[in-house]
Amino acid sequence: MTIQIGVLADDLSGGMNIGVEFAQDGYLTQVIHHEQPEPACDVLIINTDTRNLSPKKAFAIVQNSARTLRTHSPKVFVKKIDSLMRGNIGQEIDAVIVESDFRCVLLTPAAPKLMRQVFNGYIHVDGKPLKANNTALDPLSMPAATHVGEILSGQTQHHIHHLDIGLIQQEEPVLSRFFAEHSDGLIITDCATQDDLNQVVAAAYRQGVRFFAGTYGMGEAVCHAIEFESTTQILVLVGSMSAVAQEQVKFLQSHTSVTLIQLDFDNVQDVREYFKVKGRSSGSNITILHISATPLLSDITQDESSHYIETTWQAILAPHLEQFDGFVATGGTTAQGLMTLLDCDGLRLESRELIAGVPFARIQGGQFDSCPFIIKPGSQGNLDSLYRLARAAMRGTK
């Protein structure tokens, strides 16, 4: 069976905390020990349990596990490493390279959401250099050095390059040029924020890098970098006119192929015709219908205006609903109106939260039974929230 992403983790907790990032993005994720029956998943994580073994034993086990992953032809390899650089990181990376045709690996122990960052190659924890509190974190197994390159230099046979935070925070062509000029060996990257990590992984991926080594946060970055291949069609209905929602629409539009249809009520008929023409022939998997203005009608109440808005977008959408396999709606009123239009009995919530306060849900009853239906409050979420929800809906279609 072909999988999307293969992950090698040197301990079980590490496999779990990167695995949840893939699961949150909608990938079916499985964690196993060494050889197991044929997996039925998108992301296969093998726990090699090698962190406390000798370098020689760790190399042999990881090489064998990498061979197992290769039989499933993953598009991307990820080596889950410890954020404090404990274990046999260099030797295990070398084992993967020996068993594959990778020439380059992008590596960082940064987990910005856990306040673990890398500046000038040095690990910082909770805003302090690692060397200032390393014994408090783990007095028994901390590496002697705190510079990532220095630690790895005694563990790997490959060239080590350093990607400075200053380069990461420049325009995208600078990053692309860096990866084009450093196409082999280990690239250690600084990282201050999750956005830094997402940006540098995406730039590396665009330049052909398919082997990444990192900790919590690397899963999200890899998910952002990979363009999900699917024939399913998702409708994103944005009924909120908040500045937050508008910026989320812009982010979604700039990070994947979408059909954006804006409803401003001055050209309702034009929008209706545009919707007919686009449909499945647009070449994109995501259609955004963005209610971007209020109707300029005089002498009506707010309730009457809201009713006019809802009945207008419902009339535009109704003839085209059958082309969609999943739905994302922003704003409770908008979501309720879409549920009414879909003529379903309700929603079945799954236990996973896609972003804070937003569960994955499926439609119950009616023509669209079991289709994903995800609701986000209009003014809430981060810049990438709509992007993440649309991808989750796409992967959750059956």
Q: What is the CATH number of the domain that holds 297?
A: 3.40.980.20
Question: Residue 281 pLDDT more than 50?
Answer: no
* Residues 188 and 267 placed together within one structural domain of the fold: no
Predicted pLDDT of residue 143: 67
- β-partners of residue 161 are 187
Helix 385-395 crosses helix 243-255 at what angle (to 10 degrees)?
60
User: What's the domain range around 362?
Assistant: 234-395
Q: Cα 81 to chain center, whole Å?
A: 18
**Residue 276: which residues within 8 A CB-CB, separation 6 or more?**
319, 320
Q: Which of 206, 132, 197 is nearest to 176 (CA)?
A: 206
Q: How many CB atoms lie within 10 A of CB 155?
A: 19
Q: Give the pTM.
A: 0.74
* Residues 172 and 193 placed together within one structural domain of the fold: yes
| 107 contacts 190 by C-beta, under 8 angstroms | no
Number of domains in the chain: 2
Query: 47-61, 259-273, 321-335, 341-355 — which is least confidently predicted?
Result: 259-273
* Residues 167 and 254 placed together within one structural domain of the fold: no
Question: Residue 188 pLDDT more than 70?
Answer: yes
Average pLDDT over residues 367-390: 90
**Residue 314: which residues within 8 A CB-CB, separation 6 or more?**
337, 340, 341
> Where among 198, 225, 252 does a domain terminate?
225
Question: Residue 304 pLDDT more than 60?
Answer: yes
* Distance, CA of 131 to CA of 95 (rounded, Å): 29
Q: Which residue has the higher pLDDT, 276 or 123?
A: 123
Question: Which amino acid is located at 105 in the chain?
Answer: V
Q: Which of 63, 88, 87, 57 is nearest to 77 (CA)?
A: 63
* Residues 190 and 168 placed together within one structural domain of the fold: yes
Predicted pLDDT of residue 294: 64
Beta-strand pair 358-364/346-355: antiparallel
Predicted pLDDT of residue 136: 55
Reported residue count of the chain is 398
Predicted pLDDT of residue 307: 81
Predicted pLDDT of residue 355: 85
* Residues 220 and 334 placed together within one structural domain of the fold: no
Predicted pLDDT of residue 161: 95
* Residues 329 and 186 placed together within one structural domain of the fold: no
* Residues 213 and 287 placed together within one structural domain of the fold: no
Q: What percent of the chain has pLDDT over 70?
A: 88
* Residues 162 and 18 placed together within one structural domain of the fold: yes
> Where among 197, 225, 253 does a domain terminate?
225
Helix 194-206 crosses helix 172-181 at what angle (to 10 degrees)?
50
* Residues 241 and 161 placed together within one structural domain of the fold: no
Question: Residue 96 pLDDT more than 50?
Answer: yes
Question: Residue 296 pLDDT more than 90?
Answer: no
pLDDT digits over 346-366, tens only?
A: 999 987 788 888 999 999 999
* Residues 36 and 145 placed together within one structural domain of the fold: yes
* Residues 134 and 88 placed together within one structural domain of the fold: yes
Q: Which residue has the higher pLDDT, 45 or 304?
A: 45
CATH number at residue 42: 3.40.50.10840
> Where among 175, 207, 225 does a domain terminate?
225
* Residues 260 and 347 placed together within one structural domain of the fold: yes
Question: Residue 35 pLDDT more than 80?
Answer: no
Average pLDDT over residues 119-137: 79
